[in-house]
Chain A
Amino acid sequence: MLNKKYAYRLEFMLVVSALIIFLLIGRMFYLQIIRGNYYSRQAEGNRTRYTRILAPRGIIYDCNGEELANNQPGFTVSLAHRSAYKAETLERISELIHMPVPKIKEAIQLHGGSAEPVRLLRNAPPDVVARVEENLRYLPDVMLEVQPVRTYPNRQLAVHVLGYVGEVSEYEIEQGIYDNLKAGDIIGKFGLESFYDQYLRGTDGSYREEVDVAGRVVQIMDKVEPKPGQGLVLTIDAKLQRITEAAVDKQLRAIGARGCAVVVLDPNNGEIKALVSRPGFDPNWFVNGISEKNWNYINTDPFHPMTDKAIAGEYPPGSTFKIVTGAAALEEKKVTPDELIYDSGRHWLVDMRNAGGEALGWINFKRALSASDNVYFYEMGNRLGIKLMDKYTEDFGFGKKTGIDLHGEASGLIATPEYKKKVFGEEWYLGDTFNTAIGQGFTLATPMQIAEMMAAVATDGKRYKPHLVSKIINDDGSVAKRFEPQEEGTLPVSQSTLNLVQEGLEAVTEEGGTASSLKNLPVDVAGKTGTAENPHGLEHGWFIAYAPAKQPSLVVVCIVEQGSYGSISAAPIVKSILEYVFTTPGAKKPGKTASSGKNSGSNSKKR
């Protein structure tokens, strides 16, 4: 009998069987007791489909209520968060959206453990959306999410003001700037979108629903409505911005230049009415991830389209700086308005000459400023000395940021002997003082600083902080925050000095001035040309102006990179802008229209 002969083997089988059962019980203990919570979470993740409802970003309006940045609905193809996906699902969706399976797997892996859907294709084109929609019922784990997509209806218009949005990077989150965001969230990356991001962003909503394996909704578990972002009402006038950009582009084409910056602001309150930097780009490029071609353009163009030259471009102020030198000399009584100084074409102490080689003979202050005589201002520099000149330079706002509501503003540079010593290891010579006096040499300024200088002259010494946003409005149209004009103090220059400078600037656009091409405008314009030396190529041309001369409501500052003389390159642009503002019947004149513009902005929202 087997069971007698091999009884021990039967007992062995018994032991082995019992062992198997207890091992299986052990396995259950591991899964259910030790790892139970982990698997419970997984089961919860399986049965719930969590979707974030993205809050639409706040709308950006110009001062007349025109939408400069808004949101359009876009479809995102996503995979619901799952602990595992069927291979067929991945293959099907791969075919539908033309995305290789390995890339999808990569996206899933990158996504990690978040309960968010895995977003595969943002702002999918209509044909892809249609294809996916038809197949949704076969693809239970695939979702079509409707999400607001940031859109800039005017494309390039005011791009350096508005900026653009993009996905927050892992790095930015690690920096702790955006503590409540997750990778892939949309944030402002540039311009006002970035500066006012916390207002514009809003709060995302969400809903959770219970689904079965086929993706059918069993019940909605909870829903939180999104809170839209707050809107911005800008000081920018879109019509004026358009005119300005058109004038810039036309002029750049005509003279074959590429880089340019224009600041148009109201000197009475610091409101910026138009702000241009060239070359530009289309902010819509960034919304869905930028194409390689556009990325290369933006990164390799020697004229740096991404730089807002109006606030971050640092240029020698050139002859526009004679305003500072002149005001300082008059104020310090180093010269009287009537004192005649002899211009023989060169200064008698240092062999430094006028730009065109001309010699104007005996000239007074007004003539010197309107004709932009170098020899006269060399002498002013000589009489002032670098110390005093630097004091006034600082008073006029050079060497520090203007405080405009944009990131990335440059502070420029004030020429000092200390600076020269530190950077070049050389002593300060009288020639350096001469150069500084006419805005060449070490001094650097941004167009915004130049605009502030000009505005201070236009308002008889009152200085306002430049700003782009007049108010932040809630979703219902009510005003959340109003930005009043912010006075930055007054120039320590007497009214009589300012009057003399103003007269000189007015003479610039008269017959015999350096910008007499503006003499036929229906409004008196005070202006100043400038030509900034550029070691890398042709000079940069400046033209700065305010108008009307007697009651200024507008300051316009323009620099054309490598455009040569300001009177040829920059002045025509300024002329077109002033022409539009002061001759077009429909064009609203700044100053008194600024407030009505603000009202119409909020009214259109309330309705």
Chain B
Amino acid sequence: MRLRARKYFKHMDMILFISVMILILIGIVLIASATHANIPGPRRYSFVLRQSIFVGINLLLGAYLMRFDYRILKHLARPLYFFNLIMLLAVMLVGKSALGAQRWLQIGPISIQPSEFSKAIMIVALSAFVERRLNTLTDFKSWIPVFLYVFIPFFLVMRQPDLGTSLVFIAILLGTMIVCGFRIKYFLVMGGLGLASAPLVWRLLHEYQRNRIRVFLNPGLEPYGSGYHVIQSMIAIGSGLFFGRGLFGGTQSQLNFLPENHTDFIFAVAGEEFGFFGVTLILLLYLIVIVRGISIAIHATDDFGTLLAVGIVSMFTFHILVNVGMTSGVMPVTGVPLPFMSYGVSSLTTNMLMVTLLLNIHAHPKTLRF
């Protein structure tokens, strides 16, 4: 037992692990900063506390899961996929709604956001699904089942509505397609078709989503309503200057001008309180995570491992791009949290599980047989 533990430890990607842990710790500090002034009474510490507890739980869970070979997931893929569909349907039927969207399921004291987990499930299920068909994925037609496979959960999440998460599915699919040799000319054709169908997609969107895109496309950013959050966020980041206003020193976040400052807009708190110096460090840490993830994909000893790693990296990259882009005013506002840093038990757990999976792929170069 001890021997095996040491063996995993030896094979663990320490750079990845440490980078992620630093990001998580920075996140907790920023959550503390964002909530201590704005949340009244005893609930003040509950965010830091809950996030910390779940970091612990997830570390234990991850350590436990490291014992298994990720390849067993191949067999779990199909049940997970259907479990996912059921969960998403449940959200639609009995979910709690907030901000005009039904995204939460209440289980005991915690509300969970199934769409977060469904990202992870999507990566696992899609990787297994594609891996089985790798030899047949040649022409465009052969890809259609894959597209359909992604489309069903994509559609369900989009109707919640949660545009951000549903687009994560597309990012994961895109990463998978790239690594599976999807022909470049197909990409071009699909891109063209995508642009051509934009008006149709526009009609499928909810009014508030359309508004967000309108505001995003309008460079003047209407300072009323939908543009409000982004402007406050940009002010927070911009006023951080080079070294930031110091932890707990950001007026935008401390006086609550910054909305959702412990969840989706936590990066703006980082920008305000740690300055350019701090956010550059954070972004470089993310780059390390991505580089390690792709490296794991490159060195994986089987296609399932490569596919998983690529899916995970695609998800992280997409999240970082969209979240940081949103807080700095270059991406439309979608409810996409910043991996490892945003407060949110579902998101944190999903991301830590995905890192565990990366570590697992790294640690299992050979098929271990028990």
Contacts and interface: CB of A to CB of B under 8 A. Distances in A.
Interface of A: 1-3, 5-7, 9-10, 12-14, 17-18, 20-21, 24-25, 27-29, 31-33, 35-36, 38-40, 42-44, 46-47, 83-87, 90, 105, 210-214, 218
B226 to A, nearest CB: 8
A84 B224 contact: yes
Contacts of B122: none
Q: Name, among B178, B239, B280, B287, the residue most crowded by chain A CB atoms within 10 Å (CB to CB).
A: B239
A2 B237 contact: no
A17 B238 contact: no
Contact of A20 (B240, B291, B317): B317
Given A6-B180, A32-B242, A84-B228, A24 B257 contact: no
- The 7 lowest CB-CB distance pairs between A and B, nearest first, are A39-B238, A87-B225, A84-B223, A43-B239, A212-B255, A213-B256, A32-B276
Contacts of B232: 46, 84
Q: Per DSSP, are chain A's interface residues mostly helix, strand or loop, or mixed?
A: helix
Contacts of B235: 39, 42-43, 46, 83
Q: Name, among A9, A17, A87, the residue most crowded by chain B CB atoms within 10 Å (CB to CB).
A: A17
A213 B178 CA distance: 46
Interface stretch (B6-14, B143-151, B296-304): B296-304
Given A10-B179, A33-B276, A40-B239, A105 B283 contact: no
A47 B181 contact: no
B297 A10 contact: yes
B71 to A, nearest CB: 15
B20 interface: no
Interface residues of B, number: 60
Contacts of B298: 3, 7, 10
B224 to A, nearest CB: 5
B284 interface: yes
Given A3-B298, A13-B314, A14-B290, 17 more contacts: A2-B180, A12-B178, A13-B175, A17-B291, A21-B287, A25-B280, A25-B284, A33-B241, A38-B238, A40-B239, A42-B239, A43-B251, A83-B231, A85-B224, A87-B228, A212-B255, A218-B255
A139 to B, nearest CB: 14
A80 to B, nearest CB: 12
A24 B313 contact: no
A255 B328 CA distance: 77
A3 B224 contact: no
Contacts of B313: 13, 17
B256 A47 contact: no
A154 B256 CA distance: 50
B139 to A, nearest CB: 17
A414 B10 CA distance: 114
B239 A17 contact: no
B134 A32 contact: no
B330 A33 contact: no
A27 B180 contact: no
B294 A32 contact: no
A320 B11 CA distance: 119
Nearest to B304: A2
Interface in B95-131: none
Interface stretch (B57-65, B86-94, B158-166, B319-327): B319-327
Interface in B310-369: 310, 313-314, 317, 320-321, 324-325, 328-330
A1 B303 contact: yes
A19 to B, nearest CB: 10
A5 B181 contact: yes
B234 A31 contact: yes
Contact of B306 (A3, A24, A44): A3
Contacts of A3: 179, 297-300, 303, 306
12 contacts: A6-B179, A13-B175, A13-B178, A13-B179, A17-B290, A24-B321, A25-B284, A28-B237, A32-B238, A43-B235, A46-B252, A47-B251
B279 interface: yes
B27 interface: no
A9 B179 contact: yes
A9 B187 CA distance: 14
A31 B310 contact: no
Contacts of B299: 3
Given A21-B287, A42-B235, A28 B276 contact: yes
